[in-house]
Amino acid sequence: MPIVEALQTIEFRLDRCGAVVASESMLAVASSPRYFDFNCPFPVYMQRRGAERPFFVMWVDNAELLVRR
């Protein structure tokens, strides 16, 4: 993954009492699309975090439902 942006902030203070330093950084990467090859039946299972039961379950055994129209 290529790095899109990298930032670093450094705060430095020095006086008679001593020194204080603080550093913060951020890194942004570009993600590329992921492709999946489904060559056998599979389940689609959707559940909210913390929920006891899923709100949607579907068994996909052909590509008819997956074609964009």
- Residue-wise pLDDT for 8-33, tens only, equals 999 999 999 999 999 999 999 888 88
Give the predicted TM-score (pTM) of the model: 0.42
Q: Where are the domains of the chain?
A: 3-31+40-66
Q: What percent of the chain has a predicted confidence (pLDDT) above 90? A: 54
| Rounded distance between C-alpha atoms, residue 69 and residue 64, angstroms | 10
Question: Phi and psi (nearest 5°) for 51?
Answer: -80, 150
Cβ atoms within 10 Å of 60's Cβ, excluding its own: 14
| Rounded distance between C-alpha atoms, residue 69 and residue 66, angstroms | 9
The whole-angstrom distance between residue 9's C-alpha and the CA centroid of its chain comes to: 24
